[in-house]
């Protein structure tokens, strides 16, 4: 075994030994390390500089109690956590997730992925992630506000515009960001707009941040299709989820001529052969905060499949935009059998390792999350820039910057895959390009 292979094995063994029971984190690390052999072989300085040993250990994990009072006057206690994974390229940057499944494993996997995603944007952003096992479903606005205030009462001690800049993720949208930012201002007494991104445009937010992850995903898909005989025009598209990423991916795909026929939530999926009415979907999910089943009831002439799997719907393009490991090997086989040509990840790590193998075996084009969904954090980076300059760009400017960044990420991943002998493998190309940027910064800054 070469020194490079031995170092990669040792790093993965360390992750397994040091993080018992953390299967998601192990999966995320394995996916990256697996693709790094060619680069580590060419650059022994990465092994000598201890890069692999260092990059798998978060710089800091802060875990804290979040007590809050529900509408019945009962005290509830949640657990909050912030994983500050890497600050080699800039302040820690990554979203907050509020979902009942959140634990340290989830946040470490997301924080690790975030290091590489942020590196790909070309902006100066480190990697982090945070959240809580709080479940916003069915909670009143007052309950959500009290929870957010309690969460921020602790988190405020660990973040700052030059230190750590959170944003949204599952269960954290514009409403939650508003409450979190308000509490941060109250605690610190400062107007430090760059401390959090995803703010409303009326109080320091950026135009197009809400749309950015979904729009960026579809810009990336457009680039993937460029030298093929396929196009978004006339394509039949299925998205999973019906949250922020799914909704705006569906909107941009349909603006570019695709028909988006299905989307889902955690209870089932809706199939609308005429193409989803995205204004109605937005009204039901974003404004009224109702379940997806309400869409089918109001829209009529479409079908809601309770408890069913959205990947049984045939399509040309599949965009998993819900959550991790939501598309497994059997789903990938079924999609391939039904003629799917392209799968691009809007969610973080939505395809299982087996699914990715099947996707490659069956010759389906694959857009990996770190590259394909980087538009959200890239636009958060643009929001931070606007905050630092105390200015606000218009929608068109931010959207065109987003498009430029996504086009560039695609080109970088493709060129790096060619350079390291894995042509067409955008996942390996993205991992290697991102790793090189972070590793070079780590070498330059010494053992810290
Ligand atoms: P939202 O909370 O807005 O929406 C999440 C959607 O996914 C909902 O429709 C939800 O359904 C569904 N979902 C969540 N958990 C599950 C589950 N276990 N099984 C099935 N469906 C589920 O989140 P976002 O759209 O912001 O995030 C979606 C994904 O995109 C996540 O992986 C996130 O990390 C990733 N991402 C988000 C970015 C952003 O800017 N927001 C940036 C980059 C990546 P239900 O309501 O029934 O729970």
pLDDT (0 to 100) of residue 402? 98
pLDDT (0 to 100) of residue 429? 98
Verify that 267 and 319 share a domain, yes or no: yes
Q: How far apart are CA 192 and CA 187, in angstroms?
A: 12
Q: How far apart are CA 173 and CA 199, in angstroms?
A: 9
| Residue at 308 is within a domain | yes
> By alpha-carbon position, which residue is closest to atom 5 of ligand 1?
243
**CATH number of the structural domain spanning residue 306:** 3.40.50.720
pLDDT (0 to 100) of residue 145? 98
Verify that 234 and 339 share a domain, yes or no: yes
Q: How far apart are CA 412 and CA 220, in angstroms?
A: 12
Active site residue 129: yes
Distances (CA, A) of 281 to 169, 244, 267, 293, 308: 19, 11, 16, 10, 19
Q: How far apart are CA 414 and CA 155, in angstroms?
A: 38
Q: Which residues pair with 60 in a beta bridge?
A: 84
Tell which atom from ligand 1 comes closest to the C-alpha of 99.
15
269 close to 320: Cβ distance less than 8 angstroms: no
Looking at residue 62, the DSSP 8-state letter turns out to be E
Give residue 244 CA to ligand 1 midpoint distance, Å.
7
Give residue 289 CA to ligand 1 midpoint distance, Å.
14
Check if 319 has its Cβ closer than 6 Å to any atom of ligand 1. no
> Domain range holding 242?
212-372
Check if 118 has its Cβ closer than 6 Å to any atom of ligand 1. no
Verify that 107 and 245 share a domain, yes or no: no
In a 10 Å sphere around its CB, with 0-12 CB exposed, 13-18 middle and 19+ buried, how is residue 238 labelled?
buried
pLDDT (0 to 100) of residue 1? 80
The total domain count for the chain is: 3
Check if 348 has its Cβ closer than 6 Å to any atom of ligand 1. yes
Name the domain boundary from 321, 343, 372.
Answer: 372
Rounded to two decimals, the pTM is 0.98
pLDDT (0 to 100) of residue 2? 87
Name the domain boundary from 159, 190, 221.
Answer: 190
Q: How far apart are CA 193 and CA 226, in angstroms?
A: 38
* Catalytic residue, candidates 93, 108, 117, 129: 129
Verify that 218 and 360 share a domain, yes or no: yes
Verify that 140 and 240 share a domain, yes or no: no
CA angle centred on 165, ends 163 and 169, rounded to 5°: 150
Give residue 347 CA to ligand 1 midpoint distance, Å.
7
| Residue at 335 is within a domain | yes
* pLDDT, averaged in runs of 10, over the chain (448 residues): 92 98 98 97 96 98 98 98 98 98 98 98 98 96 98 98 98 98 98 98 98 98 96 98 98 98 98 97 95 95 97 98 98 98 98 98 98 98 98 98 98 98 98 98 97
Verify that 81 and 39 share a domain, yes or no: no
Give residue 1 CA to ligand 1 midpoint distance, Å.
41
| Residue at 427 is within a domain | no
């Amino acid at each position: 075994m070469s020194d490079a292979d031995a170092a990669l094995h040792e790093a993965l063994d360390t992750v397994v030994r040091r993080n018992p029971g953390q299967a998601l984190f192990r999966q995320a690390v394995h996916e990256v390390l697996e693709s790094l052999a060619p680069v580590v072989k060419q650059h022994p300085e990465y092994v000598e500089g201890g890069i692999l040993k260092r990059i798998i250990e978060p710089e800091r994990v802060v875990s804290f109690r979040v007590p809050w009072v529900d509408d019945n006057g009962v005290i509830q206690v949640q657990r909050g956590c912030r994983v500050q994974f890497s600050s080699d390229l800039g302040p820690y940057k990554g979203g907050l997730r509020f979902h009942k499944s959140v634990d340290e494993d989830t946040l470490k996997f997301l924080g690790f992925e975030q290091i590489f995603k942020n590196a790909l944007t070309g902006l100066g952003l480190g990697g982090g992630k945070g959240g809580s096992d709080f479940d916003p479903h069915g909670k009143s606005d007052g309950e959500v506000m009290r929870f957010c205030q309690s969460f921020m009462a602790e988190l405020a001690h660990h973040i700052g515009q030059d230190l750590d800049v959170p944003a949204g993720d599952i269960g954290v949208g514009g409403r939650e960001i508003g409450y979190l930012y308000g509490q941060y201002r109250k605690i610190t007494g400062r107007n430090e707009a760059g401390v959090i991104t995803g703010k409303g445009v009326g109080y320091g937010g950026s135009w197009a941040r809400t749309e950015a992850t979904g729009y960026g995903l579809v810009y990336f898909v457009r680039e993937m299709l460029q030298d093929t005989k396929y196009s978004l025009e006339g394509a039949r598209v299925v998205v999973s989820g019906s949250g922020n990423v799914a909704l705006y991916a569906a909107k941009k795909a349909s603006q570019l001529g695709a028909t988006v026929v299905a989307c889902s939530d955690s209870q089932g999926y809706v199939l609308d052969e005429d193409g989803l009415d995205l204004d109605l979907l937005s009204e039901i999910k974003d404004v009224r905060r109702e379940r997806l089943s309400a869409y089918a009831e109001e829209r009529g002439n479409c079908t809601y499949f309770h408890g069913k799997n959205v990947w049984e719907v045939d399509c040309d393009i599949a965009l998993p935009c819900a959550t991790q490991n939501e598309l497994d090997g059997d789903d990938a086989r079924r999609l391939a059998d039904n003629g799917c040509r392209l799968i691009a990840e809007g969610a973080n790590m939505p395809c299982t390792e087996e699914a990715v193998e099947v996707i490659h075996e069956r010759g389906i084009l694959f857009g990996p999350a770190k590259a394909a969904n980087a538009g959200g954090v890239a636009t958060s980076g643009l929001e931070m820039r606007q905050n630092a300059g105390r200015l606000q760009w218009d929608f068109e400017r931010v959207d065109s910057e987003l498009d430029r960044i996504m086009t560039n990420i695609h080109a970088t991943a493709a060129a790096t895959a060619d350079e390291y002998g894995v042509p067409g493998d955008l996942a390996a190309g993205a991992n290697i390009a991102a790793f090189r940027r972070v590793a070079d910064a780590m070498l330059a800054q010494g053992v810290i």
